[in-house]
Amino acid sequence: MPALNIGIILGSTRQGRLSPQVGEWVKGIADQRGDGNYEIVDIADFKLPLLGEADASEQAGRWNDKLNALDGFVFIVAEYNHSITGALKNALDYAREAWNNKAAGIVSYGSVGGARAAEHLRGILGELSIADVRIHPALSLFTDFENGQTFKPAELHLTNVNGMLDQVIAWSGALKTLR
């Protein structure tokens, strides 16, 4: 089987966001494994307007093309008001079939490790027929980010990221047989 393509989706678009730091860290770990093709997918690059508020045929087409080219996902999820960002929810809603029968891992961050956002995301992923894996690296704004700005993860997270990626690769390969 050819190498699987896994998108590391940055789930925040605001100025000053922390998701690019976390995403690059995950990608660095993933690239060392040699078991897939990993790439950062920044939803900000797709300039998706709020669903239904403007003609976004071009943006939605590019977004769906990108998702169709991927076999699985790792969502980098910031917790905003006990949930995922509005930008991530909007991006999830812009596709349907492109998500189906694929696997996803979640790396979250926030005051309680982004756990509430991750749980909200799991419900949405289920509706989109995305199989989310169990292992979930949860990063604390208090201990894994210096001054809430600079990402400095604790060493213990490396084990969880690798465990999550093991599951994402295994499940993505199994689910590819359904597509």
What distance lies between CA 106 and its chain's CA centroid?
6
CA distance 56 to 49: 7
Angle between helix axes 157-176 and 19-33 (nearest 10 degrees) is 70
Q: What is the pLDDT of residue 1?
A: 72
Q: What is the pTM of this model?
A: 0.97
> Token pair 């949860």 is at which residue?
138
Q: Which of 128, 78, 85 is nearest to 103 (CA)?
A: 128
Q: Where are the alpha helices (DSSP H) in the chain?
A: 19-33, 57-68, 86-93, 115-127, 157-176
Split the chain (179 residues) into runs of 10 and give each run's mean pLDDT.
94 96 98 97 97 94 98 97 97 97 98 97 98 98 94 96 98 96
Q: Which domains does the chain have, with CATH numbers?
A: 4-178 (3.40.50.360)
Do residues 169 and 36 lie in contact, with contact meaning Cβ atoms separated by under 8 Å? yes
